[in-house]
Amino acid sequence: MSQLLKKPWFAVVGAVICTVLWGSAYPVIKYSYAQLNIASVADKLAFAGARFVIAGLMVFIAAWIVMKKPPTVPKRHIGGVILYGAVQTGLMYILNYIGVAHTSATKTSILTAASAFFAVLLAPLFFKSEKLTALKVIGVIVGFSGIIIVNTSALDGGVSFLGEGLVLLATVLNTAGSFIGKVIAKGRVFEMTAWQLMIGGGLILLVALPMGGSFVITTESILLTLYLAFVSAAAFSLWTALLTYHDAGRILVFNLLIPVFGAVWSFIILGERQIFDPLYLVSTALICFGIALVNYHKKFSKPL
């Protein structure tokens, strides 16, 4: 399996699969809010916390079955995995949910896509094997412009710390969490993923429950929660595995595809038709071209 994960073509396929899964989460979450009458930030956090705890349990059970023993974390990595869960899942989603409640969806899309910028520009500072090249910078700019052109209304209105500020901070934490995962998950991808999801989900619940967060338990809510948990379990496991074998910048730039697949799934699940807008087609082309530039491997793509 590790040999397959190391192959450049599989990195592309795997990253796309992750973004397809994460893209489907957005309309399913939106559908869940409507069906389960989830409106307050506390209720949304409770729903998210339950989702991530269950996702962690899914990875834990799957790893136990495959390895024939409970997935454990070495003592020297306990602090790292707690930090990983707190940053990548816990704090990131807490700040993101609060921020989203105080800003528009279009601004959220742009700020979230900024994680690709952070990943490509900051990765060389933390990993000696990664180099910043002109093609990478151009690729991220091209891809990011694809997000901007379908969210031009995001440039209107003011800026607040509780809204745009927290969403941007959540984006930084998402990038930082990916870097932490890349460092600590080598050889123990499923163990680290299982525990970080449970720790992160538990942290979210610790914030949500005292705030009065809750949601109704019905057959539908259970099925929706299980699906979203599966998305997190599968996507985080594969994403973390890819990060351990490839440059962080080349993998994290695929985050630009999440809004694209989110629009596709929104049409399939919710009947929203914005994906057929000509601007979305241009946006998708720019995003794909930008990703291709960032992942270009030719030797003349020299470090800056």
pLDDT in tens, 178-222: 899 888 887 788 889 999 999 999 999 999 999 999 999 999 999
- 245-279 tens-digit pLDDT: 888 888 988 988 888 888 888 888 888 777 777 87
Average pLDDT score over residue span 3-29: 89
Q: What whole-number percentage of the chain has pLDDT above 90?
A: 35
Average pLDDT over every residue of 16-44? 90
| Tokens encoding 96 | 């993101």
The string over 249-278, giving b where at least 16 C-beta atoms fall within 10 Å of a residue's C-beta and e elsewhere, is: bbbbbbbbbbbbbbbbbbeeeeebeebeee
Residue type, 200: G
The pLDDT tens digits of the residues spanning 276-293 come to: 778 778 888 888 898 888
- The whole-angstrom separation of Cα 232 and Cα 234 is 6
Cα–Cα distance measured from residue 87 to residue 251, given in angstroms and rounded to the nearest whole number: 19
> Tens digits of per-residue pLDDT, 133-154?
888 888 888 888 887 787 665 5
CA dist 257 and 292 (Å) reads: 12
Q: How many CB atoms lie within 10 A of CB 68?
A: 7
- Fill in the DSSP letter of residue 91: I
The sign one gets for the Cα dihedral 113, 250, 188, 73 is: negative
pLDDT of residue 151: 67
Q: Show me where the domains of the chain are located.
A: 2-130+158-275
73-127 per-position pLDDT tens digit? 888 888 989 999 999 999 999 998 888 778 766 677 677 777 777 888 888 888 8
pLDDT of residue 97: 85
Q: In which band, very low, low, confident or very high, does the pLDDT at 300 lie, cut at 50, 70 and 90?
A: very low
